[in-house]
Amino acid sequence: MLGACGSARHSGGWGGNRPVADFDLAIIGGGINGAGLARDAAGRGLRVLLVEQGDLASGTSSASTKLIHGGLRYLEHGAFLLVREALKEREILLRNAPHIIRPLRFLLPPLPQMRSPVLLRLGLFIYDHLGGRKILPPTRTVDLTHNVLGTPLKRTYKFGFLYSDCWVDDARLVILNALDAAERGATIRTRTKCVRAERSEEWRLILNTSGRRDVVTARALVNATGPWVGLVAETVIRMPEPARVRLVKGSHIVVKRLFDHDTGYIFQNPDRRVVFALPYEGDYTLIGTTDENYQGDPAGVAPSGAEIAYLCDTASRYFRGTVAPSDIVYAFAGVRALYDDGSKRPEDVTRDYHLAFDKGFGQAPLLSVYGGKITTYRRLAEAAMKLFGNVFAPNRPWTARVPLPGGNFPYNGVDAQVAQARRSWPFLEEKHAVRLVRAYGTRIGDVLGEADSYAALGIRFGADLTEAEVRYLMAREWALEADDVLWRRSKLGLQFSEVERAALQRFMAPLPALRLVT
């Protein structure tokens, strides 16, 4: 087990002589919202428990389009406050996690019979100036007839608008928030399901970890379970009213690289939705996303044939080469739990977060989290802590100015970190050094240690994944299974064969479940 179930005692604000709960704040859900809130609360001195029924980031938080962005299309819906908040967060997050977040330029080619170029340029002017941009370059117009950005596109597209946002390794963003929370005293329990939450003056949580049950208590509870928010509210917390949740599925496909540069594309569709085509993991292009209403178990979500055809058709409408389902090397889908605002079309439902705070007389407080974008997770956590102000009297907000683990270097300093890594470990290949810096930043030494050769790193399982890295991930980042390593701590699953994956799983299975103890 990771850490203790919490036996500390303090009197923080309850009054009287009654026993104090094991934890101040219990969070159900190990996605970006739960992990971000755990980090924020732990950094303010609260005793925090986070429980996740699977692996961290095993749901929607690893199935995003991998962007830190304002949401250009939301301007069309008049969501200026949402876009402004997200735009301001771009550069805060870039400064705090420059190893896993990097600037990315996007080309938007106008499409006849769609939004006019004048309207697009006006929207991009607003986008440039709404969020106090300081680091990222502004929008400019590009002639595509003699430009590498136009080379992969059909000749129909003569010009486009080049603007800025950021790319993020979404799953590692979750992992690093959880890691920082743990280092600040939080207890993180993965593969642990909360099967019942009983409410009185405090919460009594019944937890199940691999068939073993235990009970903990907490002064306040957060339901941050993403697409399971309604199910948990109904079956675990047993709320009297159904949750106002709208489940919307988004799917992506990955194909071999379609262009030889590091700029992404944003394509308009006749149905007025947009689809991104992004450089992905060096050798691939990521295409997505869709918007479909979803019913069913979020754990079983997968791209439908219609969604795959939609994404292929969109890419083929713009690129010179046809993109067919047979070209897909990987596909994935995620379910967003949005606050149901009554919108008819799934793409029109607000992506802004909604925090439902419930505290009846004599009852411990409950916070339910709906919606939100990965870009605004940090602001969501601050807003949540503000709602708990009368419960905990927490310290002031702090996360805007403190880097995530490994991110304590300049936002444009990745190349310098790679060079330093290759000086410290001269045997590292360039591509391997880049991947490790992009994953661990200044903490690369925690993975490589005193190794003086590849042989010193142990078994090489496939691609550049070594035994030393796997052992680090198991000991420090809660990795238990091969897919935890291949798809969430990295994206090396794209390069692994099934035989290599099975060998990694066999290696991990008998090892002791070492954990970062809090």
Cβ partners under 8 Å of residue 434, min gap 6: 414, 418
Burial profile 67-80: b = 16 or more Cβ within 10 angstroms, e = fewer? bbbbbbbbbebebe
* Strand (E) or helix (H) holding 93: helix 80-96
Asked whether the beta carbons of 41 and 394 are under 8 A apart, the reply is: yes
Calpha distance 102→165 (Å, rounded): 9
Asked whether the beta carbons of 336 and 227 are under 8 A apart, the reply is: yes
Q: Is 290 exposed, middle or buried (0-12, 13-18, 19+ CB in 10 A)?
A: buried
DSSP codes of every residue in 360-424: -TTS--EEEEE---GGGHHHHHHHHHHHTHHHH------GGGSPPTT--S-TT-HHHHHHHHHHH
Cβ partners under 8 Å of residue 334, min gap 6: 59, 60, 61, 62, 63, 64, 249, 250, 301
Residue from 168, 165, 161, 162 nearest 70 by CA: 165
SS3 499: helix
DSSP codes of every residue in 438-449: HHHGGGHHHHHT
Handedness of CA 197, 11, 380, 43 (dihedral sign): negative
Residue 422: Cβ within 10 Å count: 17
Q: Nearest 5°: phi and psi at 275?
A: -130, 135
Residue 403: Cβ within 10 Å count: 18
Pairing of the two strands 245-256 and 284-288: antiparallel
Q: Is 210 exposed, middle or buried (0-12, 13-18, 19+ CB in 10 A)?
A: exposed
The interaxial angle of helices 32-43 and 170-183, nearest 10 deg, is 30
Residue pLDDT tens, the chain, 518 long: 333 333 333 333 333 344 588 999 999 999 999 999 999 999 999 999 999 999 999 999 999 999 999 999 889 888 899 999 999 999 999 999 999 999 999 999 998 788 999 999 999 999 999 998 999 999 999 999 999 999 999 999 999 999 999 999 999 999 999 999 999 999 999 999 999 999 999 999 999 998 999 999 999 999 999 999 999 999 999 998 877 899 999 999 999 999 999 999 999 999 989 999 999 999 999 999 999 999 999 999 999 999 999 999 999 999 999 999 999 999 999 999 998 877 777 766 777 899 999 988 889 999 999 998 999 999 999 999 999 998 998 789 999 999 999 999 999 999 999 999 999 999 999 999 999 999 999 999 999 999 999 999 999 999 999 999 999 999 999 999 999 999 999 999 999 999 999 999 999 997 765 444 33
Calpha distance 252→84 (Å, rounded): 26
Asked whether the beta carbons of 479 and 516 are under 8 A apart, the reply is: no
